[in-house]
Amino acid sequence: MVIMDYKKIHDNLIERARNRKLEGYVEKHHIIPKCMNGTNEPNNLVELTAREHFLVHWLIHEMYPENSDLRYAFWSMCRSSSNQQRYKPSSRVYEYAKHKMLEIWQKFKPSDKQINSIKERLTGTKWYHKPDGTNLRAFPNDPKINEEGWLPGRFGGKSISDKANKAKEKKYEGKKLPSTSNKRCSIDGVEFESAKAAADALNMNEYSIRWILQGRGRSQKHKEKYKNWYYIK
Protein backbone atom coordinates (compact mmCIF):
# COMPACT_ATOMS: atom_id res chain seq x y z
CA MET A 1 0.00 0.00 0.00
CA VAL A 2 1.42 3.37 -1.04
CA ILE A 3 1.07 6.14 1.57
CA MET A 4 1.12 9.61 0.01
CA ASP A 5 2.90 12.44 1.81
CA TYR A 6 0.34 15.07 0.87
CA LYS A 7 2.00 17.86 2.81
CA LYS A 8 5.39 17.29 1.22
CA ILE A 9 3.92 17.25 -2.29
CA HIS A 10 1.90 20.37 -1.50
CA ASP A 11 4.84 22.27 -0.05
CA ASN A 12 7.11 21.38 -2.96
CA LEU A 13 4.51 22.55 -5.47
CA ILE A 14 4.00 25.87 -3.63
CA GLU A 15 7.76 26.46 -3.26
CA ARG A 16 8.30 25.86 -6.97
CA ALA A 17 5.49 28.28 -7.83
CA ARG A 18 6.97 30.98 -5.59
CA ASN A 19 10.27 30.94 -7.46
CA ARG A 20 9.04 31.40 -11.02
CA LYS A 21 7.09 33.75 -13.24
CA LEU A 22 4.21 32.33 -15.27
CA GLU A 23 2.99 33.74 -18.55
CA GLY A 24 -0.52 33.44 -19.90
CA TYR A 25 -3.47 32.25 -17.85
CA VAL A 26 -2.86 31.90 -14.09
CA GLU A 27 -5.01 31.53 -10.98
CA LYS A 28 -4.19 33.12 -7.63
CA HIS A 29 -4.18 30.79 -4.65
CA HIS A 30 -4.19 31.42 -0.90
CA ILE A 31 -1.35 29.34 0.53
CA ILE A 32 -2.96 29.34 3.97
CA PRO A 33 -6.69 29.01 3.21
CA LYS A 34 -8.94 31.86 4.30
CA CYS A 35 -11.04 29.39 6.30
CA MET A 36 -7.87 28.71 8.33
CA ASN A 37 -7.22 32.41 8.96
CA GLY A 38 -5.21 32.99 5.80
CA THR A 39 -4.99 36.58 4.58
CA ASN A 40 -4.87 38.44 1.26
CA GLU A 41 -1.32 39.60 1.96
CA PRO A 42 1.10 39.12 -0.97
CA ASN A 43 3.19 36.60 0.99
CA ASN A 44 0.13 34.36 1.28
CA LEU A 45 -0.70 34.44 -2.43
CA VAL A 46 0.87 32.47 -5.24
CA GLU A 47 0.17 32.14 -8.97
CA LEU A 48 -0.64 28.64 -10.22
CA THR A 49 -1.71 27.04 -13.47
CA ALA A 50 -5.31 25.80 -13.56
CA ARG A 51 -4.11 22.19 -13.16
CA GLU A 52 -1.80 23.08 -10.25
CA HIS A 53 -4.60 24.99 -8.54
CA PHE A 54 -6.85 21.95 -8.78
CA LEU A 55 -4.14 19.62 -7.45
CA VAL A 56 -3.29 21.94 -4.54
CA HIS A 57 -6.91 22.01 -3.38
CA TRP A 58 -7.08 18.24 -3.65
CA LEU A 59 -3.89 17.91 -1.58
CA ILE A 60 -5.11 20.36 1.09
CA HIS A 61 -8.36 18.44 1.38
CA GLU A 62 -6.43 15.20 1.90
CA MET A 63 -4.24 16.92 4.52
CA TYR A 64 -7.31 18.10 6.47
CA PRO A 65 -10.09 15.64 5.51
CA GLU A 66 -12.42 16.70 8.33
CA ASN A 67 -12.44 20.37 7.33
CA SER A 68 -15.76 20.84 5.52
CA ASP A 69 -14.73 24.22 4.03
CA LEU A 70 -11.68 22.66 2.37
CA ARG A 71 -13.77 19.76 1.17
CA TYR A 72 -16.24 22.19 -0.40
CA ALA A 73 -13.37 24.13 -2.02
CA PHE A 74 -12.09 20.88 -3.58
CA TRP A 75 -15.58 20.08 -4.85
CA SER A 76 -15.89 23.59 -6.31
CA MET A 77 -12.65 23.08 -8.25
CA CYS A 78 -14.26 20.11 -9.98
CA ARG A 79 -17.08 22.22 -11.37
CA SER A 80 -17.16 24.73 -14.20
CA SER A 81 -16.72 28.42 -13.51
CA SER A 82 -17.83 31.50 -15.47
CA ASN A 83 -14.71 33.49 -14.52
CA GLN A 84 -12.00 30.83 -14.49
CA GLN A 85 -10.64 28.38 -17.06
CA ARG A 86 -11.05 25.46 -14.70
CA TYR A 87 -8.97 22.32 -15.06
CA LYS A 88 -11.32 19.47 -15.99
CA PRO A 89 -10.74 16.41 -13.79
CA SER A 90 -11.44 12.86 -14.88
CA SER A 91 -14.87 11.35 -14.26
CA ARG A 92 -13.43 9.21 -11.44
CA VAL A 93 -11.96 12.22 -9.63
CA TYR A 94 -15.25 14.10 -10.09
CA GLU A 95 -17.15 11.14 -8.61
CA TYR A 96 -14.72 10.97 -5.68
CA ALA A 97 -15.17 14.69 -4.93
CA LYS A 98 -18.95 14.40 -5.24
CA HIS A 99 -19.05 11.52 -2.74
CA LYS A 100 -16.98 13.60 -0.31
CA MET A 101 -19.50 16.44 -0.56
CA LEU A 102 -22.44 14.05 -0.12
CA GLU A 103 -20.90 12.97 3.18
CA ILE A 104 -20.97 16.60 4.32
CA TRP A 105 -24.53 17.19 3.11
CA GLN A 106 -25.75 14.10 4.96
CA LYS A 107 -23.94 15.22 8.09
CA PHE A 108 -25.59 18.64 8.02
CA LYS A 109 -29.09 17.36 7.33
CA PRO A 110 -31.03 18.70 10.34
CA SER A 111 -33.35 16.53 12.40
CA ASP A 112 -37.08 17.15 12.80
CA LYS A 113 -36.42 18.20 16.38
CA GLN A 114 -33.96 20.89 15.26
CA ILE A 115 -36.37 22.15 12.59
CA ASN A 116 -39.26 22.36 15.04
CA SER A 117 -37.06 24.20 17.52
CA ILE A 118 -36.30 26.92 14.97
CA LYS A 119 -39.98 27.17 13.99
CA GLU A 120 -40.91 27.66 17.64
CA ARG A 121 -38.46 30.56 17.92
CA LEU A 122 -40.12 32.17 14.91
CA THR A 123 -43.57 32.07 16.52
CA GLY A 124 -45.06 35.53 16.88
CA THR A 125 -43.66 36.90 13.63
CA LYS A 126 -45.73 37.52 10.52
CA TRP A 127 -45.02 37.90 6.83
CA TYR A 128 -44.83 41.31 5.16
CA HIS A 129 -43.93 42.28 1.62
CA LYS A 130 -43.30 45.14 -0.78
CA PRO A 131 -44.75 45.43 -4.31
CA ASP A 132 -41.33 44.67 -5.82
CA GLY A 133 -41.52 41.12 -4.43
CA THR A 134 -39.36 41.56 -1.33
CA ASN A 135 -40.55 39.54 1.68
CA LEU A 136 -39.93 40.12 5.37
CA ARG A 137 -40.78 38.15 8.48
CA ALA A 138 -41.15 40.45 11.47
CA PHE A 139 -43.04 41.13 14.68
CA PRO A 140 -46.23 43.19 14.10
CA ASN A 141 -45.02 45.87 16.51
CA ASP A 142 -41.70 46.36 14.72
CA PRO A 143 -41.57 50.11 13.90
CA LYS A 144 -39.93 49.48 10.53
CA ILE A 145 -43.18 47.90 9.24
CA ASN A 146 -44.87 51.32 9.06
CA GLU A 147 -41.72 53.37 8.55
CA GLU A 148 -40.63 51.47 5.44
CA GLY A 149 -44.07 50.80 3.96
CA TRP A 150 -44.28 47.02 4.35
CA LEU A 151 -47.64 45.44 3.43
CA PRO A 152 -49.29 42.50 5.27
CA GLY A 153 -48.79 39.02 3.84
CA ARG A 154 -46.13 37.08 2.01
CA PHE A 155 -45.33 37.87 -1.62
CA GLY A 156 -46.78 35.09 -3.76
CA GLY A 157 -48.95 33.85 -0.87
CA LYS A 158 -52.73 33.75 -0.60
CA SER A 159 -52.98 37.13 1.14
CA ILE A 160 -50.94 39.01 -1.48
CA SER A 161 -52.70 41.46 -3.77
CA ASP A 162 -53.01 40.99 -7.53
CA LYS A 163 -51.06 44.21 -7.92
CA ALA A 164 -48.06 42.70 -6.14
CA ASN A 165 -48.19 39.50 -8.17
CA LYS A 166 -48.32 41.50 -11.41
CA ALA A 167 -45.31 43.50 -10.24
CA LYS A 168 -43.40 40.26 -9.73
CA GLU A 169 -44.35 38.99 -13.19
CA LYS A 170 -43.20 42.25 -14.77
CA LYS A 171 -39.93 42.24 -12.82
CA TYR A 172 -38.91 38.81 -14.11
CA GLU A 173 -40.53 38.96 -17.55
CA GLY A 174 -38.11 37.48 -20.07
CA LYS A 175 -35.49 36.96 -17.38
CA LYS A 176 -34.19 34.04 -15.38
CA LEU A 177 -35.02 34.07 -11.71
CA PRO A 178 -32.01 34.84 -9.48
CA SER A 179 -29.89 31.73 -9.05
CA THR A 180 -30.12 29.87 -5.77
CA SER A 181 -27.23 30.43 -3.41
CA ASN A 182 -25.35 27.19 -2.69
CA LYS A 183 -23.48 28.58 0.29
CA ARG A 184 -23.88 26.66 3.52
CA CYS A 185 -25.59 28.55 6.32
CA SER A 186 -26.22 28.25 10.04
CA ILE A 187 -29.61 29.08 11.56
CA ASP A 188 -29.76 29.06 15.35
CA GLY A 189 -26.92 26.54 15.46
CA VAL A 190 -28.37 24.21 12.81
CA GLU A 191 -26.37 23.93 9.61
CA PHE A 192 -28.03 23.67 6.18
CA GLU A 193 -26.37 22.97 2.84
CA SER A 194 -27.96 26.10 1.34
CA ALA A 195 -30.56 28.83 1.91
CA LYS A 196 -32.94 26.84 -0.28
CA ALA A 197 -32.54 23.76 1.92
CA ALA A 198 -33.30 25.90 4.96
CA ALA A 199 -36.33 27.43 3.23
CA ASP A 200 -37.72 23.99 2.34
CA ALA A 201 -37.20 22.68 5.87
CA LEU A 202 -38.65 25.73 7.62
CA ASN A 203 -41.43 26.34 5.09
CA MET A 204 -40.14 29.86 4.52
CA ASN A 205 -39.46 31.93 1.43
CA GLU A 206 -35.90 31.35 0.21
CA TYR A 207 -35.30 35.02 -0.61
CA SER A 208 -36.44 36.04 2.86
CA ILE A 209 -33.93 33.65 4.42
CA ARG A 210 -31.16 34.97 2.17
CA TRP A 211 -32.22 38.52 3.07
CA ILE A 212 -31.88 37.71 6.78
CA LEU A 213 -28.59 35.80 6.34
CA GLN A 214 -27.06 38.78 4.54
CA GLY A 215 -28.14 41.12 7.35
CA ARG A 216 -30.03 43.51 5.09
CA GLY A 217 -32.05 46.31 6.65
CA ARG A 218 -32.29 44.85 10.14
CA SER A 219 -33.65 46.87 13.03
CA GLN A 220 -31.91 46.45 16.37
CA LYS A 221 -34.63 44.03 17.45
CA HIS A 222 -34.12 42.01 14.28
CA LYS A 223 -30.37 41.94 14.74
CA GLU A 224 -30.90 40.43 18.15
CA LYS A 225 -33.50 37.92 16.96
CA TYR A 226 -31.46 36.74 13.97
CA LYS A 227 -27.96 37.14 15.38
CA ASN A 228 -27.39 33.39 14.96
CA TRP A 229 -28.39 33.36 11.28
CA TYR A 230 -25.37 33.60 9.00
CA TYR A 231 -23.57 32.14 5.99
CA ILE A 232 -20.70 29.79 6.78
CA LYS A 233 -17.47 31.09 5.27
Classified as helix, coil or strand, 24 is coil
Residue 39 makes CB contacts below 8 A (sequence gap 6+) with 32
Within 40-90, strands assigned E span: 45-48
pLDDT digits (tens, 9 = 90+) for 167-222: 555 654 554 444 445 688 888 888 888 888 888 788 777 777 888 887 765 566 67
Provide the CA 81 distance to its chain's centre, in angstroms.
16
pLDDT digits (tens, 9 = 90+) for 28-67: 899 998 888 889 899 999 999 888 888 898 899 889 888 8
- Give dist(CA 188, CA 225) in Å, integer: 10
Comparing 88 with 29, the larger pLDDT belongs to: 29
- Give dist(CA 60, CA 58) in Å, integer: 6
> What is this structure's pTM?
0.44
Give the model's confidence band at 161: pLDDT under 50 very low, under 70 low, under 90 confident, else very high: very low
Q: What are phi and psi of 160, to 5 degrees?
A: -85, 140
Domain assignments of the chain as residue spans, ordered by start:
6-105, 112-231
Q: How far is CA 223 from CA 35, 46, 230, in A?
A: 25, 38, 11
Q: Which amino acid is at 9?
A: I
Query: With 60 as the cut, is the pLDDT of residue 95 above it?
Result: yes
Q: How far is CA 47 from CA 14, 43, 180, 224, in A?
A: 9, 11, 31, 42
Classified as helix, coil or strand, 27 is strand
